[in-house]
Amino acid sequence: MNLALRTPDPKKLLKGATGDWEVVVGMEVHAQVTSKSKLFSGASTEFGGAPNSHVSLVDAAMPGMLPVINAECVAQAVRTGLGLKAKINPVSVFDRKNYFYPDLPQGYQISQYKQPIVGEGEITVDLEGGETITVGIERLHLEQDAGKSVHDQHPTLSYVDLNRSGVALMEIVSRPDLRSAEEASAYLSKLRTILRYLGTCDGNMDEGSLRADVNVSVRRPGDPLGTRCEIKNVNSIRFVRQAVEAEARRQIGIIEDGGTIDQETRLFDPSKGETRSMRSKEEAHDYRYFPDPDLLPLELDEAWIASLAEGLPELPDAKKARFIAEYGLSAYDATVLVDEKATADFYEAAARGRDPKIVANWVTQELAFRLNKDGKGIEESPVSPEQIGAVVDLIADGTISGKIAKDLFDIVWSEGGDPRAIVEARGMKQVTDTGAIEKVVEEIIAANPEKVEQLKAKPTLAGWFVGQVMKASGGKANPQAVNDILKRKLGL
């Protein structure tokens, strides 16, 4: 078992009043399949339509309506399974999960119970500090999403919006291989990255495209698994971290006070930073699963699976390894760059024919900082890879200094345009003419005899002279030339 294989890491243990505790986390992630139409109907999956505008007769469970499987959703599930290095099951079965709820028109959800489309796989997760863990995937199955109950539109009545009803979800179930709140959030983040690379889920947590049910238990290091509680529908990576932390603390508190944990379903309240009970195990539904007689078992052709495998894009782990090998990047930079496929693509476009490390610095620092500040994604970046590349080129050929480059970047960011032309037009070129620099240096030395005197006792004051020269030259003097001339003139 995986469980026994991981030796408890003292750094990850939680301190309780009576000793250390290990938290054990497993996750069921619901990922909305990227597809034009729903899992069993032709209705649109587009987000944000007017209520009940994307509802077919099948989604509304009208009498006599029948589900017909959407082949693209099946392909997306297989692609995802392949991306998770998982076993693709040649035969899988759709079951009905029966329960009554107003946003579940059929009175059952079509899901896969005993025979899912994807079996065991794994995900490699990089943690802060360079640690890497492997998280087991137990299964992935396809199922229908439910509609949405709306309770705030009328004082006494509830409304139902069936736009989501029947949209395809992949439920991705991990093994209980996670050992901290950080690992749990890192796992979800990595899973999201893989799904987005594959193009099988947009990973948009704000729109509910990705949400996690988080199973949390605690135990003394080395003990068997404790009783778990399931925290339903956590809809951000940050909340996963907070929810695990809060739930583990809650459980430790109860056990240390002599109590026991009741297996139950809980909800995380981000405003209070705590979990609260939703329903107990006794209140759990008896879902009366049985194979859906309206659908034949799903049989997948080996050649078809192989063709999907061939069409898979390069995935983040492979890309990261390649960035390290091909561009000589640090593991950290590579990890940051591959986190979003769009960022990696941007980087590669900018790095082509240039110093890859310098380009990496620009993308992971200056660009990332500005994007983050303006709340923009890399796709919306006002600066193109070509523009970043041109800035880097201008530094490399000595046309501008690193400092001027930042000013130039700001101009390109806010005004656009060709960086080289901007440098020309605005006289931002670096001054490498040593005669001109010498003249400035001499003026500064002449104007500050007391500083020259102090310099003898305090050599670090050389930096002050560099600063004065740069200031006087409007930042355009070549710093290397300034240093050299100062050294010579001041006899350093």
Partner 1 sequence: MSALIDLTIAGIREGLARGDFSATELTQAYVDAIEAARPLNAFIVETPDKALAMAAESDRRIAAGTARPLEGVPLGIKDLFATEGIHTQACSNVLKGFEPPYESTVTSNLWADGAVMLGKLNMDEFAMGSSNETSAYGPVVNPWRMAGSNAPMTPGGSSGGSAAAVAARLCAGATATDTGGSIRQPAAFTGTVGIKPTYGRCSRWGIVAFASSLDQAGPIARDVRDAAILLKSMASVDAKDATSVDLPVPDYEAAIGQSVKGLRIGIPKEYRVEGMPEEIERLWQQGIAWLRDAGAEIVDISLPHTKYALPAYYIVAPAEASSNLARYDGVRFGLRQGGGDGIVDLYEKSRAAGFGREVKRRILIGTYVLSAGYYDAYYLQAQKVRTLIKRDFETVFAAGVDTILTPATPSAAFGLEAMATASPVEMYLNDVFTVTVNMAGLPGIAVPAGLDQKGLPLGLQLIGRPFDESTLFKVGKVIEDAAGHFSPERWW
Stretch that binds partner 1, among 1-9, 27-35, 55-63, 382-390 (CB under 8 A): 55-63
In a 3-state reduction of DSSP, which class is residue 314? coil
How many other C-beta atoms are found inside a 10 Å radius of the C-beta of residue 54? Answer: 24
| Number of H-type helices and E-type strands within the chain | 17, 16
Between CA 247 and CA 354 the distance in angstroms is 49
* 35's tokens: 């597809």
Residue type, 174: S
**Minimum distance from residue 227 beta carbon to partner 1 (Å):** 20
The answer to whether 282 contacts partner 1 (rule: CB under 8 A) is no
Return the number of the residue (132 or 153) whose C-beta is nearest partner 1: 153
Q: Which is nearer to partner 1, 294 or 418 (CB)?
A: 294
| Binding flag, residue 163, partner 1 (CB under 8 A) | no
Piece in contact with partner 1 (CB under 8 A), picked from 132-140, 254-262, 290-298, 426-434: 290-298
Collapse the DSSP code of 245 into the 3-class scheme (helix H, G, I; strand E, B; otherwise coil) and give the result: helix
CA–CA distance, 200 with 481 (Å, rounded to integer)? 54
Helix %, strand %, coil % for the chain, to 5? Answer: 40, 20, 40
Binding test (CB under 8 A) with partner 1, winner from 14, 295, 305, 461: 295
Q: Quick one: 68 or 325, whose CB is closer to partner 1? A: 68
62-121: which residues touch partner 1 (CB under 8 A)? 62-69, 96, 98, 100, 102, 105-108
Number of amino acids touching partner 1 (CB under 8 A): 29
Among 128, 206, 286, 301, binds partner 1 (CB under 8 A): 286
Our finding on whether 461 is near partner 1 (CB under 8 A) is no
User: Judged by CB under 8 A, does residue 54 bind partner 1?
Assistant: no
**Binds partner 1 (CB under 8 A): choice among 9, 44, 51, 57:** 57
Query: For residue 50, which phi and psi values (nearest 5 degrees)?
Result: -60, 145
CA 264 to chain centre: 29
If the CB atoms of residues 297 and 398 are measured against partner 1, the closer one turns out to be 297
| Distance (Å, whole) CA 92 – CA 463 | 71
Residue 103 C-beta: closest distance to partner 1, Å: 10
CA 118 to chain centroid: 23
Q: Of residues 14, 60, 278, 436, which one binds partner 1 by CB under 8 A?
A: 60
How, if at all, do strands 264-269 and 229-234 pair?
Answer: parallel
Nearer to partner 1, 61 or 368 (CB): 61
239 exposed, middle or buried (CB, 10 Å; 0-12, 13-18, 19+)? buried
Stretch that binds partner 1, among 13-21, 255-263, 285-293, 473-481 (CB under 8 A): 285-293
Which of 65, 324 has the CB closer to partner 1? 65
Q: Are 76 and 200 in contact (CB under 8 A)?
A: yes
In this complex, which beta carbon is closest to partner 1, that of residue 100 or of residue 450? 100
Q: How many CA atoms lie within 13 A of 92 on its CB side?
A: 25
Neighbours of 234 (CB within 10 A): 27
Site membership for partner 1, residue 356 (CB under 8 A):
no
Site string for partner 1, 231-270 (x = CB under 8 A): ----------------------------------------
Q: Which of 97, 28, 96 is nearest to 286 (CA)?
A: 97
The answer to the question of residue 3 lying near partner 1 (CB under 8 A) is no
Our CB check for partner 1 shows the closer of 42 and 459 to be 42
Under rule CB under 8 A, residue 297 binds partner 1 = no
Other Cβ atoms less than 10 A from the Cβ of 457: the count is 7
| Sign of the Cα pseudo-torsion (73, 79, 84, 87, in order) | positive
Nearer to partner 1, 289 or 413 (CB): 289
Q: What is the Cα–Cα distance from 317 to 133, expressed in whole angstroms? A: 13
Rounded Cα distance between 144 and 125, Å, is: 28
CB of residue 182 vs partner 1: minimum separation in angstroms?
37
Least Å distance, CB 51 to partner 1, is: 14
Closer residue to partner 1, CB minimum distance, 160 or 411: 160
Closer to partner 1 at the Cβ: 68 or 396? 68
Interaction site with partner 1 (CB under 8 A): 57, 60-69, 96, 98, 100, 102, 105-108, 158, 160, 286, 288-290, 293-296
